[in-house]
Amino acid sequence: MKNIVVNLDLEPRHKQKLEAAAPGCVFTYAPGRTLTKELVQQAQILIGFPPAKWIEASPRLELLQLYSAGADAYIQPGILAPETRLTNATGAYGKAVSEHAFACTLMLMKKLHRYRDSQLQHAWRDAGPVTTLSGATVLVVGLGDIGLSYARLVKAMGARVIGVKRRAGACPEGVDELCLTSDLDRVLPEADVIFSILPGTADTRYFYTRERFAAMKPTAVFINCGRGTAVETQVLADALRDGQIAAAAVDVTEIEPLPADSPLWDLENLLITPHVAGNFHLPDILERVVDIAAANLDAYLNGKPLQNVVDFATGYKK
């Protein structure tokens, strides 16, 4: 019998699914801010996204099943005990985040953000030429579930898709060309759209340098729904202000919440959303998270292989 703490706001049917996967276990449901450090320290299995500092390498914690795809806060030294298994929710966010990014892409390419600004100013004005995904080259940096979902959306609109990933492999459906991260600087100048869905790791910190923005087309659109630490705030602000790229949309920023005095707020060619692309606003996300958690409860308690085991060296699913 395990003590299982669930840090999710669930309906009765979700709870039934989890409890059916772990018969005989004791469940404590502590959604949102009702979770306490004491509950975290008591848990043998924890499903959710607890403050990493509360874990304190708890020797009781056997399995941490995150409801996020990102695991960067939990792979730091001293957070989890060596024996604690860590799994994430890769596969739950592909639809929601890719559709958000796709909407942002079209909004920027068609200058709809400029027309919204004009509407608020009661100004009837033409924002000028627009671009199209038909025949465009789209660079998808990070080719996991979300990246592949986005690739298929833009491919359906007639784009040529270049996927960038860390390891070589077969070119997946929806991608025209597969490149390694080491090839990025070669393909950046070709891209009309750059979609970044990188996790937050030491290797991805400030990944998009001034030199890389300078290599992009001045007509390019940059979308970041991965981690804000991939782009230094001032570097992004300068690239947009100086016309190195045409426009950008970010669902993530280097510092969150974005400070009120950030230079990003006042850039008319930047669309900012407050890390909401995968924030359970689409009901499909919670359904998928519960399915992943239930499957991993059953697997862990019955000695079967776990889904979405996180590689502590990379922060990615293995």
Claim to verify: residue 268 and residue 289 sit in the same structural domain:
no
The CATH number linked to 293 is 3.40.50.720
Claim to verify: residue 120 and residue 248 sit in the same structural domain:
yes
Alpha-carbon separation of residue 270 from 104, 132, 197, 225, 246 (angstroms): 10, 18, 18, 14, 9
- Three-state SS annotation for 117-184: HHHHCCCCCCCCCCCCCCCCEEEEECCCHHHHHHHHHHHHCCCEEEEEECCCCCCCCCCCEEEEHHHH
Q: What is the pLDDT of residues 39-80, one digit of tens each?
A: 999 999 999 999 999 999 999 999 999 999 989 999 999 999
Indicate if 212 belongs to the active site. Answer: no
Claim to verify: residue 230 and residue 149 sit in the same structural domain:
yes
Mean pLDDT of the chain: 96
User: Among residues 275, 281, 287, 288, which one is catalytic?
Assistant: 275
Q: How far apart are CA 25 and CA 188, in angstroms?
A: 51
Taking residues 138-164, what's their average pLDDT?
97
First to last CA, the chain: 28
When pLDDT is cut at 50, 70 and 90, the band that residue 314 belongs to is: confident
- The proportion of the chain whose per-residue pLDDT surpasses 70, expressed as a percent, equals 100
Q: What is the pLDDT of residues 238-276, one digit of tens each?
A: 999 999 999 999 999 999 999 999 999 999 999 999 999
User: Among residues 186, 256, 268, 281, which one is catalytic?
Assistant: 256
Claim to verify: residue 128 and residue 170 sit in the same structural domain:
yes
H helical segments located in the chain: 12-21, 37-42, 52-55, 94-109, 112-120, 145-156, 184-187, 210-215, 233-241, 283-301
| Element at 64 (helix H, strand E) | strand 63-66
pTM here? Answer: 0.94
Please return the burial class of 291, using the count of CB atoms within 10 Å of its CB with bins 0-12, 13-18 and 19+.
Answer: middle
User: Among residues 14, 114, 212, 227, which one is catalytic?
Assistant: 227
Q: How far apart are CA 286 and CA 174, in angstroms?
A: 26
307 in a domain, yes or no? no
Indicate if 275 belongs to the active site. Answer: yes
Claim to verify: residue 126 and residue 252 sit in the same structural domain:
yes
When pLDDT is cut at 50, 70 and 90, the band that residue 317 belongs to is: confident
317 in a domain, yes or no? no
R_g of the chain computed on alpha carbons: 21
Alpha-carbon 130 to chain mean position: 28
198 in a domain, yes or no? yes
When pLDDT is cut at 50, 70 and 90, the band that residue 175 belongs to is: very high
Q: What is the pLDDT of residues 75-114, one digit of tens each?
A: 999 999 999 999 999 999 999 999 999 999 999 999 999 9
Structure tokens at 255: 């510092």
Q: How far apart are CA 149 and CA 272, in angstroms?
A: 21
Peptide bond into 257 cis (omega under 30): yes
Closest CA to 105 of 279, 251, 249: 249
Cβ-contact 215, 209 below 8 angstroms? no
Q: Domain of 213?
A: 94-272
Q: What is the pLDDT of residues 6-42, one digit of tens each?
A: 999 999 999 999 999 999 999 999 999 999 999 999 9
When pLDDT is cut at 50, 70 and 90, the band that residue 142 belongs to is: very high
Claim to verify: residue 41 and residue 147 sit in the same structural domain:
no
Indicate if 11 belongs to the active site. Answer: no
